[in-house]
Amino acid sequence: MTAICDAGSVKGVPRYKFVRSIVQQKEMIRNLLTTPVRNLSKVRFLNCEASAYETVLVEKRDKVALIQLNRPKALNSINQQVIEDLNKAVLDANADNGIGAIVLTGSNRAFAAGADIKMMEPLSFSDTYMGGLFNDLENITKAKKPIIAAVNGFALGGGCELAMMCDFIYAGEKAKFGQPEITLGVLPGAGGTQRLTRSVGKSKAMEMCLTGNFIDAQEAKQIGLAAQVFPVDELVDRAVAVGQKIASFSKVAVALNKEAVNAAYETTLQLGLDYEKRLFYASFATKDQKEGMSAFREKRKPQFTDE
């Protein structure tokens, strides 16, 4: 399985390890700014040909990559081929310098109705444990470029988990979210008990996981699972428009913002504040910081170069 390139990792330093000495801090900042360019995979471009993938459709809208799950007969249920195609499409979009943001969607009927039960039913414990069932689905979270989930219809089980792997969720007004694995005699296995709890709190997450009940788009927004709700026919275009706005900013600044927010999941408040400060200081070594502040002072539109 091809992994998403993690261009911002610092060699030898875990993402959320906080260094204290001045020498270590300077070293971390230098590596943070120089490593991404050196560690990126060979230049590649988003492949929008219909024959490029079996289970996803890919479209480039200006600076936004639109990736659509495409297993209509199975309501976009997630199997190994979907995971492979999705990883490849996100990898290509992440490495394409002409792309600044990614929108992931399904059909009006289903974003993804869950994992493929026909694939899972015959598996044993050793099959799932030794084979790392669904481990590769996590690869999309390593993309530096932000991923917006545009959810219409059902986002259940693995589909809800996939949406939560994205950086934020926009929901169509008829969307349904749920973790109904309890009805199959199992539990969520791709982040449902963990990301859902962090998004909506223990009480609501426990209710959803123990009852298998669905929630609608408006409730998803009220409890913090979805950021916005839009009419079904407008959802994808609205998500792409937000992606275009994000793509107009410095890719370096976008990636640093994304990394800082994600760090909040993994740290105490004080460690998170320390990490945010390091990234904030690091941004002052970029050309885009100079350009952005000069443009503001000169009352003109900034021309970011992603450096």
Catalytic-labelled residue, pool 106, 110, 143, 161: 161
Identify any residues that bridge with 214 across adjacent strands, giving them in sequence order: 178
Q: Is residue 158 annotated as part of the catalytic site, yes or no? A: yes
Q: Is 160 helix (H, G, I), strand (E, B) or coil?
A: helix
For residue 16, give the nearest of 263, 212, 254, 303 by alpha carbon.
263
For residue 69, give the nearest of 1, 5, 137, 133 by alpha carbon.
137
Q: Is residue 115 annotated as part of the catalytic site, yes or no? A: yes
Phi, psi of 139 (to 5 degrees): -60, -30
CA 215 to chain CA mean position, Å = 21
Catalytic-labelled residue, pool 8, 157, 158, 292: 158
Q: Is residue 84 annotated as part of the catalytic site, yes or no? A: no
**89-124: b or e for each residue (b if 16 or more CB lie within 10 Å)?**
bbbbbbbbeebbbbbbbbbeebbbbbbbeeebeeee
**222-238: b or e for each residue (b if 16 or more CB lie within 10 Å)?**
ebebbeebbeeeebbeb
Q: Is residue 291 annotated as part of the catalytic site, yes or no? A: no
Catalytic-labelled residue, pool 74, 93, 115, 155: 115
Cβ atoms of 90 and 145 closer than 8 Å = no
Catalytic-labelled residue, pool 181, 189, 217, 292: 181
Query: What residues are labeled active site?
Result: 115, 158, 161, 181
